[in-house]
Each structure stands twice: as C-alpha cells, then as structure tokens.
Structure 1
Amino acid sequence: MRKSWPYAVVMMLVLLGVPKVLHHFIPDPRQAQMMFPIVMLVLLVPVALYFLPRYRRSKKLTDEGLQLLSEGRVAAALERFEAARPLAKIQVVPTYNIGITQLQLWRLPTAGRELSSLESRKDLTPRFRAVLSAALALVDALEGRLARVELRLAEAKSQADFPLGFAPLASAVVACREGRWAEARALLGDAALENLTGPLRGLRNALEAWCIEQLTGEARPVDAIALFGEASQDSLQAAWPEFVDFVVTRSLVPPVTPVATSAGR
C-alpha cells in the first residue's frame, strides 16, 4: 500500500538539494535565492500535471463505485474501486471500499485481509477507525470468530459518537449463532440498519426471518437473490452453513397472500 511519507521525503530532498545545485551554478547567493522559486515552479509544474489528473480520476472512479454499490451492482463497484486504488494519493479509502465490496460478495477471507491491512496505519481518524473496527467485527461474526467481535465492537464504540451500521448487525449475527433469537431480533430492528442496501440488507432481512421462525414457528419466505446478489452462495456456505441452508430452504417457501376480510369487501 502506498504511504504518504515517501512524498514528504522526496520534497525534503528537493528543498535541500535545489539550493545546493543553484549555489554550484550561481555563486552569487542573492541571485541564487531569486532563482529558487523559479526553479521550484519549473520542477513542480510537470509533477502536478502528472499527479492531479490521476487523483481526479481516482475520485471519479470512487464516486462511480459508490453509486453502483448503492444500486446493488456490487461486482461493477468492485471494478471501479480496484481501478481507483493505484491512482489514489492515499489508498485508505479505496482499500476500505474494496474490503466492504468483497464483504458484500461474501468473499469473507479477502474482505478481512483488505480491511485488516488498514489497522496498523497511524493516520486514521478516530471516526474512520471506529467504522473499520465495526466492519471487521461483522467479518469476524460471519466467519464464526465470536471472541473477537465484542473486542472490536468495544473499540469501535469507544471512538464513535455516532451510529455504526455494522455494529448491531455484527452483534445480531453473534446472537443468532449462539441461539439468542429474541436478542438478535431486537438488534436487527436497530435504526442504524435502516440505510443498509444490497446484500447487507438481504442479510438483515434473512436473519430477521430466521429469528421469527425460531421464536414463533412461522416460516417466512426469504429473498435469496437479495442476500447473494451477484455472489455465489458457496463462500458464505463455508463460513455459516446453517444459515445458508435456512436461506435456501425458505427461499422456496411461497409468499403468503393476505386473505380479504369481510370489512374489506
């Protein structure tokens, strides 16, 4: 991953080296001092002409990816984010976006690697680190590493003063895995989950149907397409076979048609 410190080192070397070069060719210190800004401008213009279009292109690709992700076109969004990363000045946001997109394709090991690669960075804001910890908690919960989930969520909540959408979802996954169905259903009703889209929305809805069935015996149909989207069910099956088996079975349940009452006739 590209770091920002190499740029600082290069700029420092330029700032230290240019005066020495000028002094070598222009012995008069005053004249050399007058030439310094001109030389720096000559050096910086081609650098700016090279890098600025790359950064703009990276932002454009990122914006397109976010729009595609909001529309549920996860695979296309991943292509944009992967194209944006090598063009970005700092690769934190593209890497996070790639990790979240891989998560929504249920490529959990890949998502975990991408997101975990950001943990050691020292330049993350507390808000971003909180969001990152909550996302990693969801990956851990889905993969069954339940002991890590509470630690990550505690870290996230200690740094966040705003709702973390992944936090109640991760806690709900843990509760479902441990058979705490009433608690899981309550967590799935958290207002922070209302803005979920795509496969994550499908996950929330499928978990809610599972909770209702366990609590009341009512078998509700599950939209497997909303959950898996463009992904194969195999990757999620490997991590949580009981849940995927439930989804596949209940996706075959026909929807319940409301019966008209006499008052509505």
Structure 2
Amino acid sequence: MFVMKCGGSTLAALPDAFFEDLKQLQEAGEIPVIVHGGGPAISDTLSKLGIETEFVNGLRKTNEDVLDVVEMVLAGKINKEIVRKIQFSGARAVGLAGVDGNLIQVQPVANAHEVGLVGDVTHVNAELIHGVVALGYIPVIAPVGIGADGRQRYNINADTAAGAVASHLGVERMIVVTDVPGILKTVDGEKRVLPSVTVQEIDEMIASGEIYGGMIPKVKAAVQCIQGVVKEVVIVNGSEPQVLSKALKEGGIGTRIVKA
C-alpha cells in the first residue's frame, strides 16, 4: 500500500497517462490511497461568493461560511473530478471525505483562537480504508474531518491529513505529486534534481537561499507529511511518464526526503 498526496489543481492538469499508470499499478497488486487538497479552487470560489479568506501561519482561517465552501469544493467538486478521471482510465475509485464513517477524526488545532475551525488529526479509521481497498476500489480522500462530538466539521491541512493517513495505515513511504521534478540544486552551473535529501538539509537549503520562491511551500508541505511511521516522502512531477511506477522503486525518480 502507498499513499499519494496531490493538490487539486495539480491533479486536474495531469495527463491521462498518469491515471493509466495508476490503473496498471492497481492491477499489479499495488494499493494506492489518494489524499488531495484544493486550496486554489477554494480561494477562487470564496472570492466569487464574496467571502473573505486569509491565512495564519499557512492555515486558512475558517469559520462556518468558509467551511461550507471548503467542504463543497473538496468533497464535492474536486473529489468527484478525481474519481471520474480514475474510472475513465479503467480503474475503480470511491470518493470519501474525512467525515464519512468517521474516517478522519480531529481536535481543534492549538491556535484555534486564531484560525477557527481547523483540526489536527487524532485518529484515522484505517479499517474503513482497508474495507474499500478489499472491494477493489482506490480510496480518494478529501481532508475535511469530524470532531469528537460527531457533529462539528473541521478543515484540515491536506499535507497534515495525508501524513496522518499514511501513518495510521503503517505506510513508510509517501508520494507527493507536484508540477516540479523534485528539489533542484545548482551544480557546476546546471540545475540538477537531488535524488535524496534530509529534513535538516532542507532547512539549511532554505536558509542559504538554495531553495527559494514557490519551491519553499512545496518542500515544507512534503516535510509536513513525514510523521509517525512515515520515514520518507518522494516529490515527483506528475507529468513524467510512469511516474508512480518509477517512484515506487528505489532511486527511480524525483527527490526523496528522509527524516535523517
């Protein structure tokens, strides 16, 4: 089993060959579990509806109005788009939100007074995921969680959710699908993809300016997925041919981020 995390906008732009690769992996006995985000689409919809949105330390400030849009966009629009693309390839998929079957249970984040209805994962119903997989379907999970009272919904950072799902499933490796080939480093005047890097080295490269601009949030998001039993995260470009098959092999493609 492997967990794949992908942003909603990235998934929407992926070629049909990506989903064909996913189907072939499933047929070969690999078990994909997908956790997706959708930040840009949420922001766009909020803007169209005239609802203000802001971020505090990378987390979207979430009240009930914002949460309605988060759930609508993630669990409705994006989740079902992904399911349709997978099924069009010939594979089978089931879309789930974290509230379904108490799949992702959460508690308010420590700074809830600043960000509102944002949750930290306390438990993942791994039995439900295994049940979906046993029926021959690929689980596609939207990061909207449910509180301890079984009533209150919470917005969850997609990277946090993906790391928690992977950890509760006992998965040691995660694949983060992006629009970049990996972490780039300039060597002898040429930019090359680093095959492997530690979390500490990433911090040093950000401080030195070697990792900069739009790559910083991508790398930090990948690092956030390393929690619990998850030992490494592979950053890959989803448009590469057979990218998932290659990422599941040691040193196949992209950049591997390891704890130490």
Which one has a larger percent strand, Structure 1 or Structure 2? Answer: 2
- Structure having the higher Rg: 1
Which one has a larger percent helix, Structure 1 or Structure 2? Answer: 1
Instruction: Please give the range of the TM-score, normalised by the shorter of the 2 chains.
Output: under 0.3
Relative contact order (alpha carbons < 8 A, sep ≥ 6): 1 or 2 greater? 2
